Structure 1
């Protein structure tokens, strides 16, 4: 059969399903991957065939001057009240409304060509199955346009389905509050209808979802799912010779993720000319305090530290201790098997890499709300204060601690000495290695990408409409 994968143009959105694409390709199926043209070289380097979308001379929609921004005002609070959101649920709703809806809308804009191009491609190529990243809903429209079966590939807890279920359950209260009963559906519907596709729940939930999230991180939803193991993949690159040498001391990896440093001005990765005035910007690198404290804590330990940090992330940081080696980038699946522990920001992909390598983890989590704080200035301008944590950090750190596989770091409440003691505790205590092994065993018990191919074949035959 023909299978089309589609994703938002970011490494962290493509890498999680690359191994599933390989599994289908290795089983003899014809596989393509569609996304904005800027990511196609990464797809080709991964051994898959890209379908480039958009104007080759254009920049990503997220970096346009009129790109969507997190909602201002009290609307998010009004929704939370109408939906009877409990305090422990607030992060999930805020992440959906303030973060996830933004990329969903980037390529649904009427002035963007990607949706029409993708529909034209699917009507010509006629895929049997379309598997897509939920933040790229134009793929759902394109799947329905050609009668293909369609499945979402979940990159994290299914905040989308959870929020949509909640909106449906409290529809009357939402309408009574004068709010849109389905903000995601309202974004998708006009584009679908313009391209001759009828709006329906399949454009919101897919026919089913491939769920690569560990059971302990899943959210209760009405969505039908097929569990699949999140096999870590972060691209391939030539590795330095020293990585093959046996470490003389315990090796600790430090990774704060690539997504943030690719997107935010404080990380100095994107050229300023490619960024619109509305892109999130910081007066200084937001990681300065956290990194300064972490490096001071690690400098006094008898360990070798490999810190995968960019020049932008290191800007403003005091000189690194002698036991710290900074490298711009190393694929975690290649680095972690040589490590005794990993210190990271709490991203789902990083969690998966550590789980696959059976490595104990220390995760930065301030415990604060994931919500963006919006302030309207006297001159009418709007300031956005981003939370000082990865949005899923509380979920991932709690998950790791519940398994006894690591600890939580909080640079806002812990001193350098307290952080140092926690790191040393994880390095020396066998219980954390036992917890990491248990986490790894749970991961192995989930069907791998090759295992689910027959299931995908059966589901595709059942759901495709031509």
Structure 2
């Protein structure tokens, strides 16, 4: 959106059947996205995304070669972007999605990328060259992984979201603290509601309102609560911990309760994310309900969590805005976007 506002021609290439909802030109590439499980080894995760990259590359390359973009931005899980950049000579930029993946994951991706480059006759492009590109790092410094980094040529990009729609009427809520819940599934939504609807806390629950009956005055249910309208009024966030949800909330200084289905998630509430979150393993909805009942009061009442989140908020505020990044990529030695 920042690039379009600056007068550049922007195209989004995404899975067949998907749209951005932002009014941008969209190219459908590859098959419709298949469900993804967060579990498995690094190699298995890499294989999940890379297995469909060949089909996406087949759709993307003819369009990209005809359009001749000056800059291609792809995320850390998308090897088709690197192939398209090599084929067209476009400058390639990798957009981070959260914490930069570990080297073990890059090694798995590199095998698939090398195969695709060979398949398309791009033998003059080495896999190592894909590590020399600019990386837009949306992860605040405190949360970054230690050890060798895949990409060392980085620009810090403030994590933001684009608000869609409008919030439902925010009637006067009866309690001092308000919590926003973004559950991973309808079952988790029901579990969170059961845990909090009769507690002295206001709950903003993102779910299908038609799935639930009348609620007490402290509960609002809507399919979407735009960040800009609700996060400044919240004391905490409940979610599954995905970076697209977690980082914008930390940008507002919100401590978080993460209900994780990861195989390696802690069995009990564990302080994570530099002290700004509590994480609990919730393989079933009953575990999610118990985790909310047990850990949310501590998260809201202990000021140490808010202090840790506030420190990360300061770090995020110091990161470059999307507008500044667009200027850097288009005026400081990088070819302009179309």
Q: Do the structures match in fold with TM over 0.5?
A: yes
The whole-number CA distance in structure 2 between the counterparts of 1:187 and 1:197 is 14
Q: Displacement of 1:320 after TM fit?
A: 8.8
Distance 1:442 1:95, change over 3 A: farther
Check the 8 A contact 1:296/1:416 in 2, yes or no: yes
Match of 2:197 in 1: 299
Of 31, 35, 42, 2:14 maps to 35
The whole-number CA distance in structure 2 between the counterparts of 1:50 and 1:366 is 32
Distance 1:325 1:143, change over 3 A: same
Check the 8 A contact 2:256/2:278 in 1, yes or no: yes
Check the 8 A contact 2:3/2:326 in 1, yes or no: yes
Distance 1:254 1:367, change over 3 A: same
Check the 8 A contact 2:132/2:153 in 1, yes or no: no
Instruction: Give secondary structure in 1 for the equivalent of 2:85.
Output: helix
Tell me if 1:248 matches 2:174: yes
Q: Displacement of 1:221 after TM fit?
A: 1.2
- 1:205-228 C-alpha deviation (Å, 9 max, x unpaired): 362211111223323314123233
Check the 8 A contact 2:158/2:320 in 1, yes or no: no
Match of 2:53 in 1: 107
Check the 8 A contact 2:94/2:135 in 1, yes or no: yes
Q: Displacement of 1:140 after TM fit?
A: 0.9
Instruction: Give secondary structure in 2 for the equivalent of 1:342.
Output: strand
Match of 1:125 in 2: 67
- 1:248-272 C-alpha deviation (Å, 9 max, x unpaired): 3222111124xxx5xxxxx6xxxxx
Of 421, 426, 450, 2:323 maps to 450
Check the 8 A contact 1:229/1:444 in 2, yes or no: no
Check the 8 A contact 2:239/2:259 in 1, yes or no: yes
Match of 1:383 in 2: none
The whole-number CA distance in structure 1 between the counterparts of 2:128 and 2:296 is 46
- Structure 1: gaps of 5 or more residues: 1-21, 71-90, 168-182, 262-266, 268-284, 371-386
Match of 1:217 in 2: 143
- 1:388-410 C-alpha deviation (Å, 9 max, x unpaired): 99xxx98xx611xx24x343345
The whole-number CA distance in structure 1 between the counterparts of 2:77 and 2:198 is 43
Check the 8 A contact 2:16/2:33 in 1, yes or no: no
TM-score w.r.t. the length of structure 2 is 0.80
Distance 1:31 1:307, change over 3 A: same
Q: Displacement of 1:439 after TM fit?
A: 1.9
Check the 8 A contact 1:149/1:460 in 2, yes or no: yes
Check the 8 A contact 1:208/1:226 in 2, yes or no: yes
Check the 8 A contact 2:205/2:219 in 1, yes or no: yes
Q: Displacement of 1:333 after TM fit?
A: 4.0
The whole-number CA distance in structure 2 between the counterparts of 1:160 and 1:415 is 29
Instruction: Give secondary structure in 2 for the equivalent of 1:450.
Output: helix
TM-score w.r.t. the length of structure 1 is 0.60
Q: Displacement of 1:459 after TM fit?
A: 5.1
Check the 8 A contact 1:151/1:206 in 2, yes or no: no
Q: Displacement of 1:367 after TM fit?
A: 7.6
Distance 1:415 1:210, change over 3 A: closer
Distance 1:150 1:326, change over 3 A: same
Distance 1:102 1:239, change over 3 A: same
Higher helix share: 1
Q: Displacement of 1:310 after TM fit?
A: 4.5
The whole-number CA distance in structure 2 between the counterparts of 1:362 and 1:130 is 35
How many residues were matched structurally? 329
Tell me if 1:354 matches 2:258: no
Map residues 22-421 of structure 1 onto 2, 5 A cutoff: 22-40=1-19, 42=20, 45-54=21-30, 59-60=31-32, 62=34, 94-108=40-54, 112=55, 114-159=56-101, 161-164=103-106, 167=107, 183-198=108-123, 199-201=125-127, 204-205=130-131, 207-219=133-145, 220-240=148-168, 242-243=169-170, 245-249=171-175, 250-257=177-184, 261=185, 287=188, 292=191, 294-310=192-208, 322=216, 323-365=218-260, 368-369=263-264, 398-399=272-273, 402-403=274-275, 405-410=276-281, 419-420=292-293
What value does the CA root-mean-square deviation take over the aligned residues?
A: 3.8
